[in-house]
Amino acid sequence: MDPRLNPALARIREDVRATQAYAVQSAAGLIKLDTMENPFRLPEALQQQLGERLGRVAINRYPAERTQDLARALAAHAGMPAGCGITLGNGSDEIITMLTMAVSRPGAKILSPLPSFVMYGISARYQGLDFVGVPLTPDFELDEAAMRAAIEQERPALIYLAYPNNPTGNLWDAAVIERLVQAAGAVGSLVVMDEAYQPFAERDAMGLLAQYAHVLVMRTMSKFGLAGVRIGYLMGEQSLIAEIDKIRPPFNVGVLNAEAGLFALEHAEVYAEQARVLRAERERVMAALQALPGVQPFPSQGNMILARVADAAAAFAGVKARGVLIKNVSAMHPLLANCLRLTIGTPEENTAMLAALQESLQ
């Protein structure tokens, strides 16, 4: 609305009014393969047990001890090193906001390779901080020289490294990452290893967490299988986490969410099996994409595959017309020209997606 029609809008920051809200596509009536969700629900018996357990939760009380129980359970599940602490967020998005607020001061900068998770830059801008994006190489690897130069020149307060990266799905070279971590330490930067897709990757950054006091590891239960529950967590050196935790809203993880998270961890083997199936399906989908003329899929260690086609807009529309929702990421960054991001679903969903894509490309 024009501020002249509603003068109160003038109180909203101009940069906020000039931006678009984060777009969430409607998936009504479609096979939903656009947001890297775990497609599997719990077995019926476990669903019933969870429902009965949630029914006994005292929802008239604010979250208290059970939130701390969840934090301890997540730390144990992740194998958090000694000397580290953990804090929880309402999904990773809230943790990114907390981190940005924690370092927000005049002149502070946030740095990340690009393309990567869009919320790093969005959160920085909304806190009035400069965001420095360093382009990846054409094959979506880290440009080590460019990253080192940016770190030394910009001296960012915070560096995000998505591991595996979103939307490209790849797991960057571990030796390069460690050298960048060392370069960041030399200028006093914090490094956040965003491991949202850790259940699907062949390695993680927990060794860096144990070795470097300026490294933080951020994870989420969304890809574990609880996207609707909204639980993220951040691990790091105890004194550092204690400062970041001061910014956390006191009751940010609801009692039902915490109980659902604890229940899931008690049945971690079920989710581990789901992740195994999704990893196997990822390889099947990759092989099928490689066999399609005109399709260039890129290596992935997440539960999605980035693929370049001749005309992403036409392919996206054709796939959607055939009942499958994927993500056209072409507009996110010039390196992503004509790229689609395909979430790995159930075997049946993947078969339907591949058929829809093949038909759309003909």
- Any idea which residue has 């066999």 for tokens? 291
Global confidence as pTM: 0.94
Does CATH number 3.40.640.10 belong to domain 58-266? Answer: yes
- Any idea which residue has 């001890």 for tokens? 65
Does CATH number 3.90.1150.10 belong to domain 7-44+269-361? Answer: yes
Tokens matching residue 1:
């609305």
User: Pick from 242, 208, 259, 261: which is nearest to 87 by CA?
Assistant: 242
**Cβ contacts of 107-111, under 8 Å, gap ≥ 24:** 108/156, 108/157, 108/158, 109/154, 109/155, 109/156, 109/157, 110/156, 110/157, 110/158, 110/159, 110/160, 111/150, 111/151, 111/154, 111/156, 111/158, 111/159, 111/160, 111/189
**98 and 89 in contact (C-beta within 8 Å)?**
yes
**332 and 341 in contact (C-beta within 8 Å)?**
no
| Segments in the chain forming alpha helices (H) | 14-18, 44-55, 65-78, 91-103, 119-126, 144-154, 174-186, 206-211, 238-245, 255-266, 268-290, 312-321, 347-361
**327 and 312 in contact (C-beta within 8 Å)?**
no
User: Pick from 315, 343, 319: which is nearest to 330 by CA?
Assistant: 315
Distance CA 292, CA 188 (A): 47
- Any idea which residue has 């409607």 for tokens? 26
User: Pick from 346, 109, 98: which is nearest to 240 by CA?
Assistant: 98
Number of Cβ within 10 Å of residue 19's Cβ equals 12
User: Pick from 228, 165, 227: which is nearest to 197 by CA?
Assistant: 165
In the chain, domain spans:
7-44+269-361, 58-266
Number of Cβ within 10 Å of residue 135's Cβ equals 15
Residue 239 identity (one-letter amino acid): S
In order along its 362 residues, the chain shows pLDDT tens digits of 565 678 888 888 888 888 888 778 888 899 999 999 999 999 999 999 999 999 999 999 999 889 999 999 999 999 999 999 999 999 999 999 999 999 999 999 999 999 999 999 999 999 999 999 999 999 999 999 999 999 999 999 999 999 999 999 999 999 999 999 999 999 999 999 999 999 999 999 999 999 999 999 999 999 888 999 999 999 999 999 999 999 999 999 999 999 999 999 999 999 999 999 999 999 999 999 999 999 999 999 999 999 999 999 999 999 999 999 999 999 999 999 999 999 999 999 999 999 999 999 98
**40 and 274 in contact (C-beta within 8 Å)?**
yes
Distance CA 222, CA 89 (A): 12
